[in-house]
Amino acid sequence: MSEHVPQVHGHCDPRFAAVRTAFEENFSSRGELGAAVSVTVDGVPVADLWGGWADPARTRAWERDTVVNVWSTSKGPTALCAHILADRGLLDLDAPVADYWPEFAAAGKERVLVRHLLSHRAGLSGLREPHSLEQFYDWELTTARLAATEPWWEPGTRSGYHAFTYGFLVGEVVRRVSGLLPGAFLEREVTGPLGVDFTIGLPEKEAGRAAELVHPPTASTSEQAAIFSQLAPAALAALANPVLGATEANSPGWRAAEIPAANGHGTARAVAALYGIFAGRGTYDGQRILSPEAAERVREGQGGCLDIVLGTGLGHETEIGLGLWLSGPTESYGPNPRAFGHDGFGGSCGLADPEAGVSLGYVMNRMGPHIADDPRKQALVDALYSAL
């Protein structure tokens, strides 16, 4: 390979050679810097590949245990925490949020249900008052403001992507029920027992193996202003209060914080394992995490619509289950319309398809400009299904 196309490391079963080819083409043709992809079939790893560089200066190779911030791919593990509690009878997804979080009933939210939080239908896509990045680092302040604010639209009627607030909303319910923030709960119940290399935030001692995120191509200031001027208030609150990107996510403050919607850190192997719990109908690596019924409930569709926050950017209707997005007619997670998963800002992805028994994790550090369905991710998904 030329110096511009780094060597790909790891293993790939011959049957899934198309995945390796697509991964290599991401470097040669789609601008990849550093990345990893992992695929499991019936819980068995069939592809575990990595390559490229962990930093834009190309001084650190991407290694087998390199971790990276996966942005909203974190939402799958966060939803998992709530579903574990529901599976144990400790959380009723059809109960009002205020049953567990009494302060949440303020400003007309007394009838908002737990399922509305999981499906981005709570009307709380962002805060109405200016909220800084440093304030996002303050769990108590952020959740108190969410409890006090009024919804942007009638809860339960439509989805509107809760880009950052999702993790605080679902996470505070997890905390009220279990006594633990989602990161600690996930470690105790899932990642610790399974030995999965994924954390909400990143412990300081692990910083040396974290890849550095690189900004996607950005519009000019005037172009950005024009884009923001077209956004509805609920979308502006979700995506620009505050505006966040690679610089913020590379900072020690971000890594030290608990932002369960957006600052999960892990390997592709870890993402494939966590989404593999859903693909395995609640079981992964011989350990049952959810009952089959609870695992199935994660993809219980809540109705298709043009998402209030992302609709214009995506250009088509989408449907969210109780925590994850359904593949649907756009085949975002493969040709099975009931496969499901979650993309992260800039390109990362976790995918689960119980019918095919497959899960996929894809992580990278050079962020693309796409809201969802980054061409690099889509090439890997298409390659996976071509091999089945």
- Under 8 Å CB-to-CB from 220, ≥6 apart: which residues? none
Q: What are phi and psi of 344, to 5 degrees?
A: -115, 150
Q: Where are the alpha helices (DSSP H) in 189-232?
A: 192-194, 221-230
How far apart, in whole angstroms, are the C-alpha atoms of residue 87 and residue 110?
A: 24
HEC string of 80-144 equals: HHHHHHHHCCCCCCCCEHHHCCHHHHHHHCCCCEHHHHHCCCCCCCCCCCCCCHHHHCCHHHHHH
Query: Is the CB of residue 359 less than 8 Å from the CB of residue 342?
Result: no
Q: d(Cα 235, Cα 126) in Å, to the nearest integer?
A: 8
**SS3 label, residue 182:** helix
What's the CA gap between 325 and 311, in Å, rounded? Answer: 14
Catalytic residue among 28, 38, 72, 229: 72
**16 DSSP 8-state letter:** G
Q: Are 278 and 361 in contact (CB under 8 A)?
A: no
Cα→Cα distances 35→44, 147, 200, 321, Å: 21, 38, 20, 28
**CA dihedral defined by 78, 83, 85, 88, rounded to 10 degrees?**
-160
User: For residue 94, what is the DSSP state?
Assistant: T
72 is catalytic: yes
Rounded to whole angstroms, how far apart are CA atoms 112 and 95? 8
Contact 324, 298 (CB under 8 A): yes
What share of residues in the chain are helix, strand, coil (percent, to 5)?
A: 40, 15, 40
Nearest to 175 by CA among 260, 249, 75, 112: 260
From residue 68, how far is each of 128, 158, 270 by CA, in Å? 31, 32, 11
- Strand stretches in 259-301, DSSP E: 264-266, 283-284, 287-288
Q: Please, what is the angle between helix 139-148 and helix 165-178, to 10°?
A: 100
Catalytic residue IDs: 72
